[in-house]
Structure 1
Amino acid sequence: MSQLLRPTVPIVRRLVSSDKVGVVVSAGKMSRAVKVRIAGQVWDKKIRKNFPSSKTYLVADPNSSLNEGDVVRIASGWVTSKRIRHVVSQIIAPFGAPVEDRPPVLTEDQRMAIRIQERLEKDVRSAERGRKVSKDRIKEARRQGIRIPDLEEAMRNTRLMEEEEKRREAGGGSKIKEPIEHTQTKQEKKREEREKVGEARKAEARRQAALQKAA
């Protein structure tokens, strides 16, 4: 009876999340990450009036599903690095290729399943070294009916990372030390982003006008 009343302990903690809607201003330049600009307002105390303002977020795109100009919904609480703390949750209005022709955007349950497997792979490696917390978590996952990866499967990602590091060293060092042909200044980057956002807005306006005419 005590086992039936035992509460289920989550393998991975589900963080509190909030949604935002924005436009993708940079895609394809980073591995599984994009930049999304969120429109907002800022209050001017001197004039006592709200003015348009925007904020740009670095957002995780696990399946590389997004293109520049897409209107998307992003969710917070998905920490993958120091700078990436949001993940794309929905494509509201695609720009360019239709959604059906792209890799699907992962649902929250699919993302949690991937995160649980990554956590268990780490626990399998740590349990092999005798870490008690990892052994307890593996035991709890087995009780919940979650598939436990074997040691060979858990070591696969670390081997791939080691091989990638060796290839970079053989090619003349890490990616950070590779020569860069041209480094954009901050003004050039801002101008380029403004032009991209302007083009995306014009395209969206044309699309809305076409939809209204069709209606």
Structure 2
Amino acid sequence: MAPNHILRATMPIRSLASPMVQARSTLLQSISQSTRSASTSQSSRNTETSNASSQTTPSELAELKHLQAPALLRSYAYTLKTGTVESVGRMERTVSVIQRHTVWNKQIGKYYPKETRYLVSDPRNSLREGDVIEFSSGAPKSRRVHHVIERIITPFAVPIEDRPAVLSREEREQERERRWAEKYVRRESRRLGKEVNLSQLAESMNIEEGTSDAQIIHQIHKGNERIGKVKKLVLERTTGSPSQTPAEAL
């Protein structure tokens, strides 16, 4: 072997790649490593955030334990009646309605006409004197007011379009639940000595946004609401469980 060949064989092998190619490969490797580390840190951060949001803090748990379970809203049976508005404006959001009907006299054996007057709740002052309306019982507002307006059958003098709309049964129930929730928050805030924040509790329990305050309270105290003795007996006989409502049983 020639001497120059021996010298070349003992020398280190030179890289075929140019310095520019080597720098480019090094840059690509560093970028891929940084991207991989960033994605790993982001995934770990998301996992920590989800765990933190799904878990309730000890202070919130203590606040939930201190809250007392409310009493369930009572549902009333009702009957529909038809009558004529007799007087308006003497009481706030209340009118006097006269119902003309017949009663059976068992001694004589015939029907006799009779007039009965009721005080009917008119939440939006939609009624006028002379209106023929349909009203329902089972909505106690005070000691003497136990009826509420359902709809106007025949308006008198003023068209229905020019009056405030009559509340439907669903709207009245929503208003009733709203007042019930406000009363519960006031009572618990006064009892605990600090403001009760239902939205914060709902967020800690992962309750959907837009849920009403009444529904939040029901979900916080699910199955622990206070029930009266009579209603408890009725639920036990109808559904088999005092904490289960007839709607849940179906």
Q: TM-score, normalised by structure 1?
A: 0.56
Q: What is the DSSP-based 3-state SS (H/G/I as helix, E as strand, rest coil) of the residue aligned with 1:129?
A: helix
Amino acid at match of 2:171: Q
Matched, 1:92 2:164: no
Matched, 1:147 2:213: yes
Q: CA deviation at 1:110?
A: 0.7
Whole-Å separation in 1 of the counterparts to 2:111 and 2:129: 28
What is the aligned counterpart of 1:75 among 127, 131, 136? 136
Q: CA deviation at 1:53?
A: 0.5
Deviation string, structure 1 residues 99-139 (Cα, Å, up to 9, x no partner): 000000000111111111111111111001237xxx8x997
Q: CA deviation at 1:16?
A: 1.4
Q: What is the DSSP-based 3-state SS (H/G/I as helix, E as strand, rest coil) of the residue aligned with 1:63?
A: coil
Q: Is the 8 A contact 1:44 1:51 kept in 2?
A: yes
Amino acid at match of 1:122: K
Q: Is the 8 A contact 1:11 1:116 kept in 2?
A: no
Which residue does the alignment assign to 1:23?
84
Amino acid at match of 1:147: D
Distance 1:46 1:16, change over 3 A: closer
Q: Is the 8 A contact 1:34 1:60 kept in 2?
A: yes
Amino acid at match of 1:39: R
Q: CA deviation at 1:43?
A: 2.5
Whole-Å separation in 1 of the counterparts to 2:109 and 2:163: 45
Amino acid at match of 1:55: T
Whose radius of gyration is greater, 1 or 2?
2
Q: CA deviation at 1:44?
A: 3.0
Identity, % of aligned pairs? 38
Matched, 1:61 2:122: yes
Correspondences of 1:134-213 after superposition (within 5 Å):
145-147=211-213
Unaligned runs of 5+ in 1: 1-8, 149-215
Q: Is the 8 A contact 2:181 2:213 kept in 1?
A: no
Q: Is the 8 A contact 1:19 1:74 kept in 2?
A: yes
Amino acid at match of 1:42: V
Amino acid at match of 1:50: Y
Whole-Å separation in 2 of the counterparts to 1:40 and 1:56: 11
Amino acid at match of 1:33: T
Greater than 4 Å deviation, 4+ residue runs? 137-140
Deviation string, structure 1 residues 125-184 (Cα, Å, up to 9, x no partner): 1001237xxx8x9979x9682137xxxxxxxxxxxxxxxxxxxxxxxxxxxxxxxxxxxx
Amino acid at match of 1:80: K
Whole-Å separation in 2 of the counterparts to 1:118 and 1:80: 13
Q: What is the DSSP-based 3-state SS (H/G/I as helix, E as strand, rest coil) of the residue aligned with 2:174?
A: helix
Distance 1:10 1:75, change over 3 A: farther
Q: TM-score, normalised by structure 2?
A: 0.49
Q: CA deviation at 1:51?
A: 1.0
Correspondences of 1:22-61 after superposition (within 5 Å):
22-61=83-122
Which residue does the alignment assign to 1:189?
none
Amino acid at match of 2:212: I
Amino acid at match of 1:66: L
Amino acid at match of 2:132: V
C-alpha RMSD of matched pairs (Å): 2.8
Q: CA deviation at 1:88?
A: 0.1
